[in-house]
Amino acid sequence: MLEQKIFHQMETVRGLTEKSINKIPEEIANIVPQGFNNNIRWNFGHIAYIQEKLVYGVLGEQMSLPQEYEKLFSAGTKPADWEQTPPTLEEISVVLTEQKSRVKKSLQGNFDKELPKPFTNKAGITFPTLGDTFLFSFYHEALHMEAIKRIYLECK
C-alpha cells in the first residue's frame, strides 16, 4: 500500500536525522562557522518546527511543539537573535522522535485531505493537500541535514 511506503520513507529519513543528532557533541552545536547563518542546533530545531508546520500548521491545527520553537527555529530566525536559552540537542532529539510517531498517527488516511488554503512555500511551489506538504517535508529535512553535515565538517 502506498501510504505504508510513504511512512516507511518517513521512518528512514527521520531515522537518519535521529542517528545524526545523537552523534553530535553538544559543545559544537552552537558554532556558526563563517559563511553560515545558523548552527547545528538551529538546523535540528528547524527540521522539527517545519515538519510540525507542514503537517499541523497548514490545517490551522494546534502544533504540539514546545512554545519557544517558533521563536527560535521558524524560517528567518537565527541564533544571533536568540534572547533565550535554546533546548539541548537531547531535548530536540526527543521532540523529533515523538513527532515521528504523532505525525504518522495523524496522517493515516489523510494524505488526500485538502488544505483550507493551499500552502505556497518560499520557492513559490503551491501544495493543495496535506500529503503534498508532508512529502515536501522529506526534501526540506534532507536540505537541512546537508547543512548540518557541512557545519559539522567546518567544526572538526
Residues 6+ apart with CB under 8 A from 2: none
91 has pLDDT over 90: yes
Question: Quick check: helix, strand or coil at residue 130?
Answer: helix
8 Å CB contact between 39 and 79: yes
What local confidence, expressed as pLDDT, does residue 149 receive?
97
Averaged over 99-117, what is the pLDDT? 95
Q: Tell the residue number behind the cell numbers 513559490, with chain if given.
A: 124
* CATH label of the domain that carries residue 26: 1.20.120.450
Domain that holds residue 57: 2-155
Return d(Cα 153, Cα 8) in angstroms, integer. Answer: 29
What local confidence, expressed as pLDDT, does residue 29 receive?
97
Return d(Cα 26, Cα 58) in angstroms, integer. Answer: 32
What local confidence, expressed as pLDDT, does residue 128 receive?
98
What's the pTM? 0.96
Mean pLDDT, rounded, of the chain:
96
Averaged over 101-118, what is the pLDDT? 95
Which grid coordinates are listed for 113? 485531505
State the total domains in the chain.
Answer: 1
